[in-house]
Amino acid sequence: MSEKRAKYIFVSGGVISSLGKGLASASIGALLEARGLSVTIQKLDPYINVDPGTMSPFQHGEVFVTDDGAETDLDLGHYERFTHCTLSRFNNFTTGQVYDAVITKERRGDYLGGTVQVIPHITDEIKNKIIQASQGFDVSIVEIGGTVGDIESLPFLEAIRQLRIEVGHENAIFIHLTLVPFIEAAGEVKTKPTQHSVKALREIGIQPDILLCRTNQALSEGIKSKIALFCNVERDSVITALTVDTIYAVPLCFHQEGLDEKIIQKLKMWTAAPRLQHWKKLIEKINHLEKKVIISVVGKYVHLKDSYKSLNEALFHGGIANHTHVHLEFIDSEKLEQGDEAQWSALRSADGVLVPGGFGERGCEGKIDAIAWARENQIPFFGICLGMQMAVIEFARHSAGLKDANSAEFNEKTKHPVIHLMEDQKLRREKGGTMRLGTYDCVLKKSTKAYAAYHREKIQERHRHRYEFNNAYRKDLEARGMIFSGINPQTGLIEMMELKNHPWFVGCQFHPEFKSKPMKAHPLFISFIQEALKIRSLKESKKSKVVRIGLKNSKTAEEIFV
């Protein structure tokens, strides 16, 4: 990589979390790429965990896996979906990693007897990590996790304050995302939370250059001027970050507000006008999704949608490619297991069933019930990672007569461990970063649904699992109609399976959702939605047939029909 020095955009957030800092950073990346600049995006997370891999999906949401096998924050998913970046373990680090590196150096004696302190040792380590990930790019966007005022994000803010002085004002800017709420009782938007947030930033030596004001109402000139005055920023550096119907509209909204122009002005960069045609086309498509399908997602993390972030997006992308609005029904597999009628009827309304990845036994029998229903009723089924493993168990139990079939993850002593622990996992004791992670090769069998979706033989997909299909059962299941359509050429591990006597029943051990993009939907999601559409139109034609039969027998109704 060349030694080109990047210019920095530091993005912080204030007032509350969940304002969309990740999406804002991703959208800035998209706009700068549209101007022909090379961009990288980094997320700095202030928590102590070394990475989010060990955290519960309820606490942290999805764990996004990079090509090189890093378990990272879900914001990296947004970065990859909005830009051409392929990110790596260098694009996300935590307080835990920073301290780990500093303590390792201290134990090695690298500090030559010095007292090791937050400033300069921790802040130096943070700066080094930022610089390292930024080399070779025109612009490096650095998102600081958390909210200004948090104790744990202080070293990160101090590090970027120092870095800006070191690289010079023309080579780094601070963008602060804040909230401008509409207060019903007052009938107007309020700027005070923003003023307080910026005050907190300025107290630690950071004067924001640009403010992104998240709001549900367009901000008037008067409000923008007031924010500018009280927060010590230029009037045209107060940007409205309006809540929009689709996240993919954010880059265009920012552009209309003049954000990309402002950024390059402040960074003293000269670029061509941005080419935003592809974003405009995308929004046009999203605004005109004529068809509709219902997909049931059966899992146990259904109460926190962030747990399936990339999955939700990939399904949406598959819909866009088919001009279809994908309505997601999240079904709680535990309730399904208990026979909850509302959950069962929601499942039955589906045009396609998807069982995503997951860990642990809770709710798994409900997933198996849902898969059996999809298989028996010829409803398109897509199983991802744990979802594929559950599909294998369902088939082994109900179609191959292996009544006790199970995964060794849930029952180590099961008579038929159709899913078992991978060989190299057996010796692993530590939990963090020890799964089969990142990109692996897979060779697809011709004349399969998998091959029909990808149109090629060799694929590469990202993984995150410890268990796998037990090849000892391959022959038995093949004899009953299971096709092993994707195999890892180096290890012989089964990466994809499907069923012969079913319109579309596909499982994959990898996570295709990580590589789907709004303008380039993943082939498996395109195929899945395509098949669900077929079921939908079949259902609709049956419905209209019923209506017509009714009409034939009734004169008055026939008149209405005519």
The binding site for ligand GLN (CB under 6 A) comprises 357-359, 385-386, 409, 464-467
The answer to whether 208 touches 175, Cβ cutoff 8 Å, is: yes
Indicate the pairing of strand 482-487 with strand 172-179.
Answer: unpaired
Token digits for 118? 């937050």
Residues 6+ positions from 201 with CB-CB distance below 8 Å:
12, 14, 148, 157, 174, 176, 207, 208
State the minimum distance, in angstroms, from the CB of residue 105 to ligand GLN.
Answer: 34
State the minimum distance, in angstroms, from the CB of residue 409 to ligand GLN.
Answer: 5
**Closest CB to ligand GLN among 230 and 359?**
359
State the minimum distance, in angstroms, from the CB of residue 438 to ligand GLN.
Answer: 13
**Closest CB to ligand GLN among 35 and 465?**
465
Distance CA(125)–CA(399), nearest Å, equals 57
Q: Characterize 253-267 residue by residue with b for buried, 16 or more Cβ atoms within 10 angstroms of its Cβ, and e for exposed.
A: bbbebebbbbbbebb
Distance CA(181)–CA(186), nearest Å, equals 11
Q: Which residue is nearest to ligand GLN (CB)?
A: 357
Distance CA(513)–CA(150), nearest Å, equals 33
Helices (H), 73-113: 75-82, 95-108
Indicate the pairing of strand 210-215 with strand 172-179.
Answer: parallel
State the minimum distance, in angstroms, from the CB of residue 196 to ligand GLN.
Answer: 41
Q: Quote the crossing angle between the two packed helices 309-321 and 523-552, to the nearest 10°.
A: 60
State the minimum distance, in angstroms, from the CB of residue 477 to ligand GLN.
Answer: 18
**Closest CB to ligand GLN among 466 and 522?**
466
Distance CA(327)–CA(296), nearest Å, equals 9
State the minimum distance, in angstroms, from the CB of residue 365 to ligand GLN.
Answer: 15
End-to-end CA distance of the chain: 71
Token digits for 66? 């990079």
Instruction: Tell how far CA 461 is from the center of its chain.
Output: 15
> Where do we find the tokens 């990160």?
156
**Closest CB to ligand GLN among 99 and 359?**
359
Give the SS3 label for residue 444: strand
Give the SS3 label for residue 70: coil
State the minimum distance, in angstroms, from the CB of residue 185 to ligand GLN.
Answer: 47
State the minimum distance, in angstroms, from the CB of residue 370 to ligand GLN.
Answer: 16
Distance CA(292)–CA(535), nearest Å, equals 11
Q: Which residues are catalytic?
A: 385, 511, 513
Hey, which residues does 139 pair with through a beta bridge?
7, 39
List Cα–Cα distances, 298 to 62, 77, 401, in angstroms.
Answer: 16, 22, 25
**Closest CB to ligand GLN among 41 and 391?**
391
Instruction: Tell how far CA 243 is from the center of its chain.
Output: 19
State the minimum distance, in angstroms, from the CB of residue 462 to ligand GLN.
Answer: 10
**Closest CB to ligand GLN among 127 and 511?**
511
Q: Which helix (H) or strand (E) holds 286?
A: helix 277-287
The C-alpha R_g of the chain, in whole angstroms, comes to 26
State the minimum distance, in angstroms, from the CB of residue 523 to ligand GLN.
Answer: 20
**Closest CB to ligand GLN among 253 and 421?**
421
List Cα–Cα distances, 294 to 245, 353, 514, in angstroms.
Answer: 19, 9, 22
- Side-by-side strand order, sheet with 405-407: 405-407, 416-421, 467-469
**Closest CB to ligand GLN among 15 and 386?**
386
**Closest CB to ligand GLN among 22 and 357?**
357
* Phi then psi dihedrals of residue 166, to 5 deg: -65, -40
Distance CA(440)–CA(510), nearest Å, equals 9
273: left (phi over 0), alpha (psi -120 to 50) or beta: beta
**Closest CB to ligand GLN among 317 and 464?**
464
